[in-house]
């Protein structure tokens, strides 16, 4: 009859061998799966190629810019020939009729670069701030206003 101490050790040997065998088989399966189905790194999806000449870029803060999206990267969207719509607020005291305030906000198309600080006509917008981008149709009122502005220059 074998030693009782040796018997206790031998009793644990088969479960330990089974666990080691399962770990080895799992590793081999993982390697084969990795080779057959390589993972692609998760990246920020690129914006689709523009379908029209003009795009509207909507930002998360509610601002909208119009122009040509010339480049998109993981970090930024580059917009050139940039325009935006500005609404004019009536001056205080003007536009009041018999105690009523008349709101006459006339939208105004502004060309980037015409501001007093004279920025270049290109915007590099942080990609995280872009809510979405839309392609504009050629008969869009904004595109028609841009064309009218360009013809007057």
pLDDT averaged over consecutive 10-residue blocks of the chain (153 residues)? 68 81 87 72 51 89 93 92 80 51 68 84 92 92 90 85
Q: 52-56 — which CB contacts under 8 Å span 24+ positions?
A: 52/135, 52/136, 52/137, 52/138, 53/136, 53/138, 53/143, 54/135, 54/136, 54/140, 54/142, 54/143, 54/146, 55/79, 55/133, 55/134, 55/135, 55/136, 56/133, 56/134, 56/136, 56/142
Please tell me the pTM assigned to this model. 0.58
Give first-to-last CA distance, the chain, whole Å. 108
């Amino acid at each position: 009859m074998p030693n009782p101490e040796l018997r206790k050790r031998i009793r644990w040997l088969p479960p330990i061998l089974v666990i080691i065998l399962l770990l080895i088989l799992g590793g081999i399966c993982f390697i084969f799966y990795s080779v057959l189905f390589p993972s692609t790194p998760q990246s920020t999806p690129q914006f689709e190629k523009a379908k029209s000449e003009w795009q509207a870029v909507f930002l998360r803060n509610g601002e909208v810019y119009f122009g040509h999206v010339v480049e998109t990267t993981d970090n930024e969207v580059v917009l050139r020939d940039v325009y935006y719509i500005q609404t004019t607020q009536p001056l205080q005291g003007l536009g009041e009729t018999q105690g009523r305030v008349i709101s006459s906000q006339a939208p105004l198309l502004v060309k980037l670069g015409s501001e007093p600080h004279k920025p270049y006509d290109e915007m590099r917008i942080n990609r995280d701030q872009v809510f979405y981008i839309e392609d504009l149709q050629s008969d869009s009122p904004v595109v028609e206003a841009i064309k009218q502005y360009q013809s007057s220059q």
